[in-house]
Amino acid sequence: MTGRPRGRLLYMGFIWIARHAWAMLVERLSATPVSASRGGLESSPTVTVADNPLSRARENGSPESQTPSRHQAMLTLAALGIVYGDIGTSPLYAVRESLLAVAGVATHEQRVLGVLSLIFWSLMIVVASKYITFILRADNGGEGGVLALAQLAHRTPRLGRGAKSAIVLAGILGLALFYGDGLLTPAISVLSAVEGVALDNGAFAPLVLPLTIAILIGLFVIQSRGTARVGGLFGPVMILWFLILGTLGGMSIARTPEILFALNPYYGVSLIAASPAIGFVALGAVFLAVTGAEALYADMGHLGRKAIRTAWLSLVFPALVLNYFGQGAAILADPNRIQSAFYSVAPDWAHYPMVLLATVATIIASQAVISGVFSVTSRRCNWASSRAWRSGTPPPSNSVRSTFRA
């Protein structure tokens, strides 16, 4: 079978998998009661989707009973594009930058296993444990985000003036880091995706920077429209993106299964112990694998914790782990693939389709980040222009990463 028919068959296979995976997800969500907790940290009342006429219709066997479940499924779909667009595009550069940061430390095998171990346990500790398990429980009237959390802590009656001032400063610092993420993510994500056009043909290298700049300018031009108009397209594209990430990563792991030794945290610890100074710098590169994790908390008020958790556990986390380890397997077999770590897991015939898909995915991630920065800025400007700030009233807490409305 020639490369082109084989590529067409695999492409159709990916489309079939995406459609049926989405159908199974909808069916699974429809079979379970849907609830989206909106309670506070203490004994605040919990508002669930069941507290509406449609849920009562479900109990009475009405045909409208499927609507809440379909709504929850759509929230999960939206979470894939809006919440996980940022962290979902980290495989484009995280492994490459992390390995380049530890160049010259230990052996090649120890470096690869150590970096993959650090990435895996960063996802486990920072995202799966910290955000999915704990942070999503700390909402302020259903809203998330660093300012929502600061406002919640600011209302504690037993805190002194100094402690409240420290909380305000911490909230401002968190907001500044959010702006830093909004500056970093679009540039590095789009550039990493577009660089793929020059890997197989150096003649395209002069086009990388102009194409990246044109895409970024276009993102800011359409930013004022927000993500609501195109939010319905984000989820399906990201389903395809994550399915392909996981599939290609799994195929690469099957060829070099030794990479699975990186599940042992010993390799990550030993890499840092071999050179603490370089290991500290390497941790900064490894952190690229979890950039965008704050969106899980910031967008909780719009999408609900159930949708965010379902998307992470059912698709995002498995796909990311498979792809990271797939990249590590390819580099473990061929050290010359470090510069093209992300595209090393794709077959030769799929290189340019992957460049196109990666560019679309980074556009989705960047648009969500840019819209979130614009939303936060406009709300703070409206608050600052009013007289509320003079009376000490905190700014609105619903600072989100996107302008999507379910």
CA 331-327-119 angle, to 5 degrees, is 110
| Cβ-contact 71, 317 below 8 angstroms | no
Which residue type does 298 have? Answer: A
Nearest to 397 by CA among 141, 148, 156: 148
In angstroms, rounded to a whole number, what is the distance separating the alpha carbons of residues 187 and 310? 29
In angstroms, rounded to a whole number, what is the distance separating the alpha carbons of residues 374 and 18? 32
| Cβ-contact 46, 37 below 8 angstroms | yes
Using CA atoms, how far residue 159 sits from 82, 153, 154, 155, 297, in Å, is: 36, 9, 8, 8, 24
Residues whose CB falls within 8 Å of the CB of residue 15, separated by 6 or more in sequence, listed in order: 240
pLDDT in tens, the chain (406 residues): 444 555 455 545 545 554 544 444 444 444 433 333 333 333 333 333 333 333 343 334 434 444 667 877 888 887 887 788 888 889 999 999 999 999 888 899 999 999 999 999 999 999 999 888 888 887 667 666 677 777 777 777 777 778 878 887 887 887 788 788 778 878 888 888 888 887 777 778 888 889 889 888 887 776 655 545 555 567 788 899 999 999 999 999 999 999 999 999 999 999 999 888 888 888 888 988 988 887 777 777 777 888 888 999 999 999 999 999 999 999 999 999 998 899 999 998 888 899 889 888 888 888 777 766 766 666 556 555 554 444 445 555 444 443 333 3
* CA atoms within 13 Å, Cβ hemisphere of 13: 8
For residue 144 the two structure tokens come to 């998330």
| Cβ-contact 330, 91 below 8 angstroms | no
Q: Alpha carbon 3 to chain centroid distance?
A: 33
Which residue type does 289 have? Answer: A
First-to-last C-alpha distance (Å) of the chain:
46
Residues whose CB falls within 8 Å of the CB of residue 400, separated by 6 or more in sequence, listed in order: 144, 145, 298, 299, 301, 302, 372, 375, 376
CA-derived radius of gyration, the chain: 22
SS3 at position 297:
helix
In angstroms, rounded to a whole number, what is the distance separating the alpha carbons of residues 144 and 309? 14
- Torsion sign (Cα): 231, 64, 54, 26: negative
